A and B are shown apart, each in its own frame.
Chain A
Amino acid sequence: MPFEFKLPDLGEGIHEAQVLAWKVRPGQEIAAFQPLCEVESAKAAVELTAPVAGRVLETRFAEGAVAQRGDVLVVIDTDGDGEWFGIVGSAPAARPKPPERRASTNPVRAAPFVRKLARERGVRLEEIAGSGPHGRVRIADVEAHAPSTAAEARGRKADVDAQTPRPLHGLRKSIADHMLQAWRNAPQVTSMDLFDVTELVKARELLLPTAAAEGVRLTYLPFFVKAAVEALRAVPEANATVDDQQQAIVLKQELHIGVATAVPGGLVVPVVRHADRLTLLEVAREIERLVSAARERRSTPSELSGSTFTITSFGGLPGSPLFATPILNYPEVAILGLGRIDLQPRVVDGQIVPRQCVGVSFTFDHRVLDGEGAGRFTSELKRFVEQPLELLARLR
């Protein structure tokens, strides 16, 4: 097979050389490494030798002529297949022309996500008026133009929910931790009863004008707060916290009543401090203040701590249950849960009559209170709730 010996790179980028003299003739038998010719490059005159043995078939480039790197200098007939292991190849193939750059025809400004969204909705961005700076199209613009169907949205949301676990953080996490702690540490029992609040309803009605005149919104909660204060006075063991470290019950002197409040993202418990020293209307006003601060996430740390007893009201929530099993506001030993107020059939003087009633759920820490103490508490509470005038007897 004929072997073509090409002019190699004679050293670090030399690309041409002049043939000075040939040392072989066509027809001559040669051995490997036998001198073939002498060439001169920009750097030096060098002798080129044969990479293979064989018979010289032809020499190209006469003495004095200039060859480029990669040009065939001599063809040698060999026994081999003509392949050789040179690492310096011929001149590089012509580079293909780069494709024409298409001029961009889309002047609409939109972030990649927005474009993707538009594509998915089958909307052309050019048709949407962008509300962003410089007419930029925003997600909301695409949404407005082509809202997703509820099913699509549900599906997307489900996808997102399914794919992205949402870690607990912020308020949700602290609620979670708090509930878990109460659940783990305190054996909790809930006793439930219906209280007849016919009289309470009347009393509140009568007081509404007075409250309005003082700019106070009067709900049932302030009444329950004052009733709870009386019941706690009668059963001080219910106004306490448990110290797990010391394994002790700490009876509290003060009466700071926590009022569980629903806020965006969860639940917080602002505290009505010294509820025993406040009038009914003062309690009402304080509750209003604390709740609105809590809802706007403006509560100060001191407003959210220090309670000795907590009331949680779930009657107004969707579904308005009558009863529930509220979890202790740990480390307090008791919590009062208030369900919905509505007409219930009651037996009065042997007759079944509709009466305004409230579901009352009282959860207590059974390490501290037994059924006896819990019962005493709820009876006291019942007295002041069902007969609000009894509060007058306690007035100082």
Chain B
Amino acid sequence: MAVTESGIEQVLAASIPSLAGVPEPFRLLDADGRCIGLEPELGEDELRAMYRWMVFGRQLDERGLQLQRQGRVGVWGPMIGQEAAQVGLGQAMRAGDWIFPSYREAITLSMRGLELTELFAYYRGLYWPADPVKTGAFPIQIVIGDQSLHAVGAGMGFALQKQERVGIASVGDGATSEGDFLEALNFAGVFNAQTMLFVQNNHWAISVPRTRQTKSETLAQKGLAHGVTGVLVDGNDALAVYTVSHWAIERARRGDGPVLVEALTYRIGAHTTADDPRRYQPSDEIENWRRRDPLPRFRRYLEDRGAWDEDAEREAVQDSLARIDRAIAEAEAMPIPTLAAYIEVAGG
């Protein structure tokens, strides 16, 4: 019995792999900060700490921008709008876990032991004065996506040396098109690496929108092609990001396999201070996402529990600014090594 042109698809269907359905972003807080799911096992102190980090991140971002406008750092990559994604991830990491960031994870890095002074030193143009192996915070990555492989390698190394540690890479949506990212997923799957790949999908790779980055419906499903579990999460819900990240990291730690986490968030600011987003980013879209600002959302969740108030907010802002300004002053007071000194240590 011959199969007609139109009938071939039906016949082929069984041989074409496909998703069961488009995944829903995992969410624990609704738009107004009300908890609509299982609350994670976090005490009040930890929850307040998370929010303080978000406030810190917001203040840091403001300062960073201004420092660049004052000519005191060379460039700054705004993080505004992405605080929940960073904090949820940072909160889920344990001592001994390593993070291989891109360049929009200043909050996570600070949570994991990078001194703010050292971060400012980087932005002033002194490379990475911190010790990555000691801190577990690896240097900012400029070559997009490369860090995925490093996290996989570290995860493979931890597994081989029977250490219960996890290598985590944080990348943007743009990075998921890079060969290195896809190769990393593949390796992670084959070697069951103790690795978590965290995608901060802020919907823009400079001026290229997420829809042009890939035809995939989600980035999380890219794991499927490589046999790696992927999870989609509301990146502006700090609680959800924490829950998913914690689950993923512990899975990897146990040796149950690597996980790809896609956190849906949005880049409210420009790509960097050298960018003019007015040329490509629709203002109504920005406004839409501003209304979904992760800070008020989490603040309301805390206030509902009686864990936060106006005084706490003021204190958090002031503490952050004091800390930030102190770090700036320290960074600017750091002696600048000579080229000869650089050549000596860089020469090997």
Q: Does B276 have its Cβ within 8 Å of any Cβ on chain A? A: yes
Residue contact B272 to A11, C-beta cutoff 8 Å: yes
Residue contact A44 to B63, C-beta cutoff 8 Å: no
A288 and B99 CA atoms in complex are apart in Å by 87
- Report B255 CB to chain A, min CB distance, Å: 45
Q: Does B124 have its Cβ within 8 Å of any Cβ on chain A? A: yes
- Report B154 CB to chain A, min CB distance, Å: 32
Q: Does A61 have its Cβ within 8 Å of any Cβ on chain B? A: no
Residue contact A43 to B70, C-beta cutoff 8 Å: no
CB-CB under 8 A from B276, the residues of chain A are 43-44
- Report A72 CB to chain B, min CB distance, Å: 12
Chain A proximity mask over B138-171: 1 for CB below 8 Å, otherwise 0: 0000000000000000000000000000000000
The contact of A11 among B70, B274, B278, B333, by CB within 8 Å, is B274
Q: Does A222 have its Cβ within 8 Å of any Cβ on chain B? A: no
Residue contact B273 to A10, C-beta cutoff 8 Å: yes
Q: Does B44 have its Cβ within 8 Å of any Cβ on chain A? A: no
Residue contact B71 to A86, C-beta cutoff 8 Å: yes
Known: A33-B63, A33-B66, A49-B66. A85 touches B72 (CB 8 A): yes
Residue contact A46 to B69, C-beta cutoff 8 Å: yes
Q: Does B74 have its Cβ within 8 Å of any Cβ on chain A? A: yes
What total of A-B pairs shows CB separation below 8 Å?
A: 53
- Report B70 CB to chain A, min CB distance, Å: 4
CB-CB under 8 A from A85, the residues of chain B are 72, 332-333
- Name the residue of chain B whose CB is nearest to the CB of A70: B71
A267 and B210 CA atoms in complex are apart in Å by 85
Q: Does B73 have its Cβ within 8 Å of any Cβ on chain A? A: yes
CB-CB under 8 A from B333, the residues of chain A are 85
A211 and B270 CA atoms in complex are apart in Å by 109
Residue contact A51 to B72, C-beta cutoff 8 Å: yes
Known: A43-B276, A44-B276. A8 touches B69 (CB 8 A): yes
> A179-216: which residues lie under 8 A (CB-CB) from chain B?
none
Q: Does B129 have its Cβ within 8 Å of any Cβ on chain A? A: no
Known: A12-B75, A33-B63, A87-B125. A49 touches B273 (CB 8 A): no
- Report B279 CB to chain A, min CB distance, Å: 9
- Name the residue of chain B whose CB is nearest to the CB of A49: B66
- Name the residue of chain B whose CB is nearest to the CB of A50: B70
Q: Does B39 have its Cβ within 8 Å of any Cβ on chain A? A: no
A9 and B274 CA atoms in complex are apart in Å by 9
- Name the residue of chain B whose CB is nearest to the CB of A86: B71
> A244-277: which residues lie under 8 A (CB-CB) from chain B?
none
A36 and B126 CA atoms in complex are apart in Å by 28
Chain B proximity mask over A28-61: 1 for CB below 8 Å, otherwise 0: 0000110000000001101111110000000000
A49 and B64 CA atoms in complex are apart in Å by 12
Chain B proximity mask over A10-22: 1 for CB below 8 Å, otherwise 0: 1110100000000
CB-CB under 8 A from B74, the residues of chain A are 9, 87-88
The contact of A51 among B70, B124, B272, B275, by CB within 8 Å, is B70
The contact of A44 among B66, B73, B278, by CB within 8 Å, is B278
Q: Does A6 have its Cβ within 8 Å of any Cβ on chain B? A: yes
A8 and B66 CA atoms in complex are apart in Å by 11
- Name the residue of chain A whose CB is nearest to the CB of B277: A44
- Name the residue of chain B whose CB is nearest to the CB of A33: B66
Residue contact A11 to B72, C-beta cutoff 8 Å: no
CB-CB under 8 A from B68, the residues of chain A are 8, 11
A294 and B122 CA atoms in complex are apart in Å by 76
- Name the residue of chain B whose CB is nearest to the CB of A85: B332
Residue contact A87 to B72, C-beta cutoff 8 Å: yes
CB-CB under 8 A from A44, the residues of chain B are 270, 276, 278
> For B63, B276, B325, which residue has the most chain A Cβ atoms within 10 angstroms?
B276
- Name the residue of chain B whose CB is nearest to the CB of A32: B325
CB-CB under 8 A from B275, the residues of chain A are 11, 43
Residue contact B272 to A6, C-beta cutoff 8 Å: no
Residue contact B274 to A47, C-beta cutoff 8 Å: no
A173 and B272 CA atoms in complex are apart in Å by 72
CB-CB under 8 A from A43, the residues of chain B are 274-276
CB-CB under 8 A from B274, the residues of chain A are 11-12, 14, 43
A48 and B325 CA atoms in complex are apart in Å by 17
CB-CB under 8 A from B66, the residues of chain A are 33, 49
Residue contact B69 to A6, C-beta cutoff 8 Å: no
A121 and B76 CA atoms in complex are apart in Å by 66
A46 and B68 CA atoms in complex are apart in Å by 11
CB-CB under 8 A from B272, the residues of chain A are 11
Residue contact A88 to B71, C-beta cutoff 8 Å: yes
CB-CB under 8 A from A87, the residues of chain B are 71-74, 124-125
- Name the residue of chain B whose CB is nearest to the CB of A7: B71
The contact of B71 among A6, A32, A33, A50, by CB within 8 Å, is A6
A295 and B335 CA atoms in complex are apart in Å by 74
A10 and B275 CA atoms in complex are apart in Å by 10
The contact of A48 among B70, B270, B273, B332, by CB within 8 Å, is B70
Known: A10-B273, A11-B273, A44-B276. A86 touches B70 (CB 8 A): yes
- Report B197 CB to chain A, min CB distance, Å: 30
- Report A110 CB to chain B, min CB distance, Å: 38
A206 and B298 CA atoms in complex are apart in Å by 130
- Report B163 CB to chain A, min CB distance, Å: 40
> B58-92: which residues lie under 8 A (CB-CB) from chain A?
63, 66, 68-75
A381 and B275 CA atoms in complex are apart in Å by 107
- Report B297 CB to chain A, min CB distance, Å: 27
> B258-315: which residues lie under 8 A (CB-CB) from chain A?
270, 272-276, 278
- Report A234 CB to chain B, min CB distance, Å: 76
A85 and B72 CA atoms in complex are apart in Å by 7
A33 and B275 CA atoms in complex are apart in Å by 22
Known: A33-B66, A85-B332. A11 touches B75 (CB 8 A): yes
- Report A309 CB to chain B, min CB distance, Å: 64
A85 and B74 CA atoms in complex are apart in Å by 12
- Name the residue of chain A whose CB is nearest to the CB of B333: A85
- Report B336 CB to chain A, min CB distance, Å: 10
- Report A294 CB to chain B, min CB distance, Å: 56
Q: 17 other contacts beyond A8-B69, A9-B71, A49-B70, with CB at 8 A cut-off? A: A9-B74, A10-B69, A11-B272, A14-B274, A32-B325, A33-B66, A43-B276, A44-B278, A46-B69, A47-B69, A49-B69, A50-B70, A85-B72, A85-B333, A87-B71, A87-B74, A87-B124
Top 5 nearest A-B pairs (CB, nearest first) are A8-B71, A11-B274, A12-B274, A85-B332, A43-B276
A-B contact pairs, 22 of them (CB 8 A): A6-B71, A8-B69, A9-B71, A10-B69, A10-B273, A12-B75, A33-B66, A43-B275, A43-B276, A44-B276, A44-B278, A47-B69, A48-B70, A49-B69, A50-B70, A51-B70, A85-B332, A85-B333, A87-B71, A87-B72, A87-B74, A88-B74
